[in-house]
């Protein structure tokens, strides 16, 4: 039996975010679907970037944000993802290591440049994402180290990994390795459009391979093509060990076979930018599990962490999350 060295191993697209504030009219003008993550090619990325205002760059990527959050909360975390050997790739690697996440994936030495996500933040604090996957399409099963999976209590995967073909194979290999080693598998559905692209495969995953599921209201209703949140919640119950279903200002619901918790949303002065909210929610929840906390406590940790991230621009926490948790939870 391999010794557990990490609480959470994240596998995801390694992306540098470019955040720009804009009015709603900008979305209409450029045919962008508010709140969605749309995949774009290099040419479209160039065109769109040319029309965007001046931005701020910071390391992102859904699962990467989550493991960064786990590390910020004091958990042991590592990450598998693909960058290129270029400037943005170095920035990504620097930033994730700087927050205490182990990251040893070998950068691609050729092919597309490091992925970037052009994020438009509208005045309602919603983010509309346009992802050029770049080097992420180079991620493949050869990047998944089975010993590392076996040494991690939970392997956490983002649904977005289902988009680049090689990453999907890496995803499947990782799930197999985790289950073979008796470890847990966690999945975030990522976004409702991602769910629509891959519904059948996601349903199979959730029913047969996922222990801990993260989804927001849109994602879970899309997955089950349900006409209400409640209907979707009923459907997911029993499909996986734990489902953490988030509903923005309505809080979250944690469902297991025999437990059911409603966690109110953390009070917050003003929502500035929801980028990364779901990612750090998962970080709080998984860190709570690693600390052996009860499910309601895990839910509160998740909500507190998410509230921190949505109260400022940017996808990762700006205040010391460990101190914040001590203040709020004791």
Residue numbers of the site for a second copy (CB under 8 A)?
A: 18, 20-21, 49-50, 52-59, 68, 86-88, 91, 94-96, 98-99, 113-114, 314, 316, 318
Q: By C-beta, is 53 or 182 nearer to a second copy?
A: 53
Return the HEC string of 36-75.
Answer: CEEECCHHHHHHHHHHCCCCEEEEECHHHHHHHHHHHCCC
| 8 A C-beta contact, residue 6 and residue 67 | no
Count other C-beta atoms under 10 Å from residue 296's C-beta.
14
Q: By C-beta, is 21 or 170 nearer to a second copy?
A: 21
* Least distance from a second copy to the Cβ atom of residue 200, Å: 37
* Least distance from a second copy to the Cβ atom of residue 56, Å: 5
Q: Both tokens of residue 104? A: 């040893």
* Least distance from a second copy to the Cβ atom of residue 261, Å: 32
* Least distance from a second copy to the Cβ atom of residue 32, Å: 17
Bridge-partner residues for 78, per DSSP?
9, 102
DSSP string computed for 176-228: HHHHHTT-EEEEE---HHHHHHTHHHHHHHHHHT-SEEEEEHHHHHHHTT-SS
Q: By C-beta, is 98 or 329 nearer to a second copy?
A: 98
* Least distance from a second copy to the Cβ atom of residue 55, Å: 7
* Least distance from a second copy to the Cβ atom of residue 30, Å: 14
Q: By C-beta, is 261 or 316 nearer to a second copy?
A: 316
Q: By C-beta, is 18 or 295 nearer to a second copy?
A: 18
Q: Compute the C-alpha angle 234/297/7, nearest 5°.
A: 95
Sole residue written with tokens 């493949």: 140
Q: By C-beta, is 72 or 236 nearer to a second copy?
A: 72
> How far is Cα 101 from Cα 147, in angstroms, rounded to an integer?
17
* Least distance from a second copy to the Cβ atom of residue 88, Å: 5
| Residue 28 phi, psi (nearest 5) | -60, -50
87-to-103, 214, 284 alpha-carbon distances in Å = 17, 32, 30
Q: By C-beta, is 89 or 284 nearer to a second copy?
A: 89
Q: Both tokens of residue 304? A: 């507190």
């Amino acid at each position: 039996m391999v010794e557990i060295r990490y609480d959470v191993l994240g596998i995801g697209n390694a992306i540098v975010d470019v955040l720009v504030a804009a009015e709603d009219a900008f979305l209409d003008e450029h045919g962008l679907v508010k709140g969605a993550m749309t995949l774009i090619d290099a040419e479209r990325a160039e065109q769109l970037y040319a029309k965007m205002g001046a931005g701020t760059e910071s390391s992102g990527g859904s699962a990467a944000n989550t493991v960064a959050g786990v590390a910020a909360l004091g958990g042991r975390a590592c990450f598998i993802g693909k960058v290129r050997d270029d400037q943005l790739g170095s920035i990504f690697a620097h930033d994730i290591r700087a927050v205490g996440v182990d990251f040893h994936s070998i950068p691609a030495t050729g092919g597309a440049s490091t992925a970037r996500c052009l994020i438009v933040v509208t005045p309602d604090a919603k983010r509309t994402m346009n992802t050029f996957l770049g080097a992420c399409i180079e991620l493949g099963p050869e990047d998944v180290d089975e010993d590392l999976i076996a040494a991690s209590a939970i392997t956490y995967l983002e649904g977005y990994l289902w988009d680049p073909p090689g990453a999907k194979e890496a995803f499947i290999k990782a799930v197999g390795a985790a289950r073979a080693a008796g470890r847990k598998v966690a999945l975030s559905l990522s976004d409702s459009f991602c769910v629509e692209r891959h519904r059948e495969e996601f349903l199979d995953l959730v029913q047969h391979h996922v222990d801990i599921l993260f989804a927001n209201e849109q994602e879970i209703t899309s997955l089950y093509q349900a006409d209400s949140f409640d209907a979707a919640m009923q459907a997911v119950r029993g499909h996986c060990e734990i489902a953490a279903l988030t509903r923005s200002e309505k809080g979250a619901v944690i469902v297991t076979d025999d437990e059911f918790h409603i966690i109110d949303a953390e009070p917050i002065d003003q929502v500035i930018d929801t980028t990364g909210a779901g990612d750090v929610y998962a970080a709080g929840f998984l860190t709570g599990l690693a600390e052996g906390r009860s499910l309601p406590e895990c839910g509160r940790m998740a909500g507190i962490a998410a509230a921190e991230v949505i109260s400022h621009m940017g996808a990762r926490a700006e205040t010391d999350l460990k101190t914040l948790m001590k203040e709020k939870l004791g």
